[in-house]
Amino acid sequence: MKNLQKQCEDVSSWIRDNVYAANAKGVVLGLSGGIDSAVAAALCKIAFPQDTLCLMLPCHSNPKDEEDARLVASKLKLKIQKIALDQTFDILRQSIGSQDSDSKLLLGNIKSRLRMVTLYYYAGKHNYLVVGPTNKSELTIGYYTKHGDSGVDIMPIADFVKEEIYELAKYLGVPKELIDKVPTAGLWENQTDEQEMKMSYKELDDYINNGKANETIKNKIDAMHNSSEHKRNAPKIFKRKQL
Protein backbone atom coordinates (compact mmCIF):
# COMPACT_ATOMS: atom_id res chain seq x y z
CA MET A 1 0.00 0.00 0.00
CA LYS A 2 1.38 3.40 -0.99
CA ASN A 3 2.02 6.33 1.34
CA LEU A 4 0.87 4.94 4.69
CA GLN A 5 1.28 8.30 6.39
CA LYS A 6 -1.12 9.99 3.96
CA GLN A 7 -3.60 7.10 4.26
CA CYS A 8 -3.64 7.45 8.05
CA GLU A 9 -3.97 11.23 7.87
CA ASP A 10 -6.87 10.93 5.44
CA VAL A 11 -8.73 8.37 7.58
CA SER A 12 -8.21 10.39 10.76
CA SER A 13 -9.44 13.54 9.04
CA TRP A 14 -12.49 11.61 7.77
CA ILE A 15 -13.24 10.45 11.33
CA ARG A 16 -13.09 14.05 12.61
CA ASP A 17 -15.28 15.35 9.78
CA ASN A 18 -17.97 12.75 10.45
CA VAL A 19 -17.96 13.34 14.19
CA TYR A 20 -18.24 17.10 13.81
CA ALA A 21 -20.95 16.72 11.16
CA ALA A 22 -22.99 14.83 13.75
CA ASN A 23 -22.38 17.57 16.35
CA ALA A 24 -20.56 15.01 18.45
CA LYS A 25 -17.24 15.54 20.22
CA GLY A 26 -15.41 12.21 20.08
CA VAL A 27 -15.59 8.46 19.52
CA VAL A 28 -16.07 5.23 21.42
CA LEU A 29 -15.16 1.74 20.21
CA GLY A 30 -14.63 -1.75 21.54
CA LEU A 31 -11.05 -2.88 22.09
CA SER A 32 -11.16 -6.63 21.59
CA GLY A 33 -7.49 -7.58 21.65
CA GLY A 34 -7.53 -8.10 17.88
CA ILE A 35 -5.67 -6.26 15.15
CA ASP A 36 -8.69 -4.58 13.52
CA SER A 37 -9.91 -2.84 16.66
CA ALA A 38 -6.31 -1.88 17.49
CA VAL A 39 -5.85 -0.18 14.10
CA ALA A 40 -9.23 1.55 14.37
CA ALA A 41 -8.35 2.76 17.87
CA ALA A 42 -4.96 4.08 16.75
CA LEU A 43 -6.58 6.08 13.94
CA CYS A 44 -9.24 7.41 16.31
CA LYS A 45 -6.55 8.49 18.78
CA ILE A 46 -4.92 10.57 16.02
CA ALA A 47 -8.28 12.17 15.25
CA PHE A 48 -9.32 12.70 18.88
CA PRO A 49 -6.36 12.48 21.27
CA GLN A 50 -8.50 13.40 24.30
CA ASP A 51 -11.89 12.07 23.21
CA THR A 52 -11.28 8.48 22.15
CA LEU A 53 -12.74 5.98 24.61
CA CYS A 54 -11.96 2.27 24.22
CA LEU A 55 -14.15 -0.24 26.02
CA MET A 56 -13.05 -3.76 26.88
CA LEU A 57 -16.24 -5.83 26.89
CA PRO A 58 -15.45 -9.40 27.99
CA CYS A 59 -18.34 -11.85 27.82
CA HIS A 60 -17.16 -15.31 28.83
CA SER A 61 -14.07 -14.37 26.82
CA ASN A 62 -10.54 -15.70 26.68
CA PRO A 63 -8.52 -13.74 29.30
CA LYS A 64 -5.73 -13.44 26.69
CA ASP A 65 -7.94 -11.07 24.70
CA GLU A 66 -8.13 -8.63 27.61
CA GLU A 67 -4.40 -8.97 28.13
CA ASP A 68 -3.79 -8.07 24.48
CA ALA A 69 -6.26 -5.19 24.63
CA ARG A 70 -4.44 -3.75 27.64
CA LEU A 71 -1.15 -4.17 25.80
CA VAL A 72 -2.47 -2.09 22.90
CA ALA A 73 -3.90 0.52 25.23
CA SER A 74 -0.59 0.86 27.04
CA LYS A 75 1.45 1.09 23.83
CA LEU A 76 -0.85 3.60 22.14
CA LYS A 77 -1.78 5.46 25.34
CA LEU A 78 -5.49 4.82 24.89
CA LYS A 79 -8.17 5.67 27.44
CA ILE A 80 -9.78 2.35 28.39
CA GLN A 81 -12.61 1.09 30.55
CA LYS A 82 -13.69 -2.48 31.27
CA ILE A 83 -17.33 -3.53 31.46
CA ALA A 84 -17.83 -7.25 32.05
CA LEU A 85 -20.93 -8.60 30.30
CA ASP A 86 -20.79 -12.20 31.52
CA GLN A 87 -23.65 -11.85 34.03
CA THR A 88 -25.75 -9.77 31.63
CA PHE A 89 -25.35 -12.47 28.97
CA ASP A 90 -26.34 -15.23 31.40
CA ILE A 91 -29.43 -13.35 32.63
CA LEU A 92 -30.54 -12.55 29.09
CA ARG A 93 -30.19 -16.18 28.05
CA GLN A 94 -32.30 -17.24 31.00
CA SER A 95 -34.90 -14.55 30.32
CA ILE A 96 -35.39 -15.49 26.66
CA GLY A 97 -35.30 -19.24 27.25
CA SER A 98 -31.98 -19.89 25.53
CA GLN A 99 -31.11 -23.59 25.53
CA ASP A 100 -27.75 -25.34 25.82
CA SER A 101 -28.51 -26.77 22.39
CA ASP A 102 -28.41 -23.29 20.84
CA SER A 103 -25.66 -22.99 18.24
CA LYS A 104 -22.36 -21.26 18.94
CA LEU A 105 -23.18 -18.73 16.23
CA LEU A 106 -26.56 -17.88 17.75
CA LEU A 107 -25.02 -17.33 21.18
CA GLY A 108 -22.01 -15.50 19.76
CA ASN A 109 -24.30 -13.03 18.03
CA ILE A 110 -25.96 -12.25 21.36
CA LYS A 111 -22.55 -11.33 22.77
CA SER A 112 -21.84 -9.04 19.83
CA ARG A 113 -25.19 -7.29 20.17
CA LEU A 114 -24.77 -6.80 23.92
CA ARG A 115 -21.49 -5.06 23.16
CA MET A 116 -23.26 -2.82 20.65
CA VAL A 117 -25.84 -1.79 23.27
CA THR A 118 -23.05 -1.00 25.74
CA LEU A 119 -21.10 1.08 23.22
CA TYR A 120 -24.18 3.13 22.41
CA TYR A 121 -24.82 3.77 26.09
CA TYR A 122 -21.38 5.32 26.44
CA ALA A 123 -21.74 7.12 23.11
CA GLY A 124 -24.92 8.75 24.36
CA LYS A 125 -23.38 9.53 27.73
CA HIS A 126 -20.39 11.36 26.25
CA ASN A 127 -21.88 12.63 22.96
CA TYR A 128 -19.58 10.37 20.96
CA LEU A 129 -20.03 8.37 17.77
CA VAL A 130 -19.59 4.59 17.78
CA VAL A 131 -16.73 3.37 15.60
CA GLY A 132 -16.76 -0.08 13.98
CA PRO A 133 -13.71 -2.29 13.33
CA THR A 134 -14.95 -4.11 10.22
CA ASN A 135 -12.42 -4.33 7.37
CA LYS A 136 -13.14 -4.65 3.63
CA SER A 137 -12.46 -8.39 3.56
CA GLU A 138 -15.10 -9.04 6.22
CA LEU A 139 -17.50 -6.46 4.78
CA THR A 140 -17.39 -8.12 1.36
CA ILE A 141 -18.59 -11.52 2.59
CA GLY A 142 -20.72 -10.36 5.52
CA TYR A 143 -18.38 -11.80 8.13
CA TYR A 144 -19.74 -9.80 11.05
CA THR A 145 -22.88 -9.66 13.19
CA LYS A 146 -25.75 -7.60 11.88
CA HIS A 147 -26.65 -5.03 14.56
CA GLY A 148 -23.62 -6.27 16.49
CA ASP A 149 -20.12 -5.25 15.47
CA SER A 150 -21.70 -3.64 12.39
CA GLY A 151 -24.14 -1.68 14.58
CA VAL A 152 -22.04 1.48 14.48
CA ASP A 153 -22.02 5.07 13.22
CA ILE A 154 -18.82 5.01 11.16
CA MET A 155 -16.49 2.35 9.73
CA PRO A 156 -13.07 3.95 9.16
CA ILE A 157 -11.19 0.84 8.03
CA ALA A 158 -13.88 -0.78 5.88
CA ASP A 159 -12.09 0.14 2.64
CA PHE A 160 -8.89 -1.72 3.62
CA VAL A 161 -8.53 -5.48 3.10
CA LYS A 162 -6.97 -7.58 5.85
CA GLU A 163 -3.51 -7.52 4.25
CA GLU A 164 -3.60 -3.70 4.35
CA ILE A 165 -4.76 -3.74 7.97
CA TYR A 166 -1.49 -5.48 8.85
CA GLU A 167 0.45 -2.78 6.99
CA LEU A 168 -1.40 -0.07 8.87
CA ALA A 169 -0.85 -1.87 12.17
CA LYS A 170 2.91 -1.94 11.68
CA TYR A 171 3.01 1.72 10.69
CA LEU A 172 0.81 2.81 13.62
CA GLY A 173 2.89 0.94 16.19
CA VAL A 174 0.44 -1.80 17.12
CA PRO A 175 2.30 -4.34 19.30
CA LYS A 176 3.84 -7.27 17.43
CA GLU A 177 1.92 -9.71 19.64
CA LEU A 178 -1.32 -8.64 17.97
CA ILE A 179 0.17 -8.61 14.48
CA ASP A 180 1.29 -12.22 14.98
CA LYS A 181 -1.98 -13.31 16.63
CA VAL A 182 -4.27 -15.71 14.77
CA PRO A 183 -7.35 -13.67 13.75
CA THR A 184 -10.45 -14.54 15.77
CA ALA A 185 -13.79 -12.93 16.56
CA GLY A 186 -13.45 -14.35 20.08
CA LEU A 187 -17.12 -15.32 20.28
CA TRP A 188 -16.47 -18.90 21.38
CA GLU A 189 -13.57 -21.05 22.46
CA ASN A 190 -10.96 -21.98 19.83
CA GLN A 191 -12.78 -20.05 17.09
CA THR A 192 -10.63 -18.62 14.29
CA ASP A 193 -11.70 -16.43 11.37
CA GLU A 194 -10.16 -18.48 8.59
CA GLN A 195 -11.47 -21.75 9.98
CA GLU A 196 -14.99 -20.33 10.13
CA MET A 197 -14.78 -18.66 6.70
CA LYS A 198 -13.27 -21.85 5.25
CA MET A 199 -10.70 -19.82 3.33
CA SER A 200 -7.61 -17.78 4.08
CA TYR A 201 -7.57 -14.00 4.20
CA LYS A 202 -4.97 -14.13 1.43
CA GLU A 203 -7.39 -16.00 -0.84
CA LEU A 204 -10.17 -13.58 0.03
CA ASP A 205 -8.00 -10.47 -0.46
CA ASP A 206 -6.60 -11.72 -3.77
CA TYR A 207 -10.11 -12.16 -5.12
CA ILE A 208 -11.28 -8.74 -3.86
CA ASN A 209 -8.23 -6.90 -5.18
CA ASN A 210 -7.38 -8.82 -8.33
CA GLY A 211 -10.31 -11.08 -9.14
CA LYS A 212 -7.97 -14.06 -8.76
CA ALA A 213 -9.19 -17.26 -7.11
CA ASN A 214 -9.72 -20.89 -7.91
CA GLU A 215 -13.26 -21.81 -8.90
CA THR A 216 -14.19 -23.16 -5.46
CA ILE A 217 -13.05 -20.05 -3.60
CA LYS A 218 -14.56 -17.74 -6.23
CA ASN A 219 -17.95 -19.41 -5.96
CA LYS A 220 -17.82 -19.37 -2.18
CA ILE A 221 -16.96 -15.66 -1.97
CA ASP A 222 -19.63 -14.75 -4.53
CA ALA A 223 -22.24 -16.78 -2.64
CA MET A 224 -21.31 -15.24 0.72
CA HIS A 225 -21.36 -11.75 -0.78
CA ASN A 226 -24.78 -12.25 -2.33
CA SER A 227 -26.37 -13.86 0.72
CA SER A 228 -25.08 -11.11 3.03
CA GLU A 229 -26.23 -8.19 0.89
CA HIS A 230 -28.94 -7.38 3.43
CA LYS A 231 -26.23 -6.69 6.02
CA ARG A 232 -24.70 -3.92 3.92
CA ASN A 233 -27.97 -2.15 3.16
CA ALA A 234 -30.44 -0.14 5.18
CA PRO A 235 -33.67 -1.99 6.02
CA LYS A 236 -36.06 -2.24 3.09
CA ILE A 237 -39.05 0.09 3.31
CA PHE A 238 -42.42 -0.70 1.82
CA LYS A 239 -43.51 1.99 -0.65
CA ARG A 240 -47.25 2.25 -0.83
CA LYS A 241 -49.07 2.93 -4.06
CA GLN A 242 -51.14 6.06 -4.47
CA LEU A 243 -54.76 4.99 -4.16
**DSSP secondary structure string for all residues of 110-152:** HHHHHHHHHHHHHHHHHTEEEBP---HHHHHHT-S-TTTTT-S
CB 111 within 8 A of CB 188: no
For 19-67, the pLDDT digits (tens) are: 999 999 999 999 999 999 999 999 999 999 999 999 999 999 999 999 9
CATH class label, 4-194: alpha beta
Q: Quote the DSSP letter at residue 241.
A: P
pTM, two decimal places: 0.93
For 44-54, the pLDDT digits (tens) are: 999 999 999 99
Give pLDDT, residue 14. Answer: 98
Instruction: Report, as ranges of residue numbers, the positions in the chain whose pLDDT lies below 50.
Output: none
Q: For the chain, which residues make up each domain, given as ranges?
A: 4-194
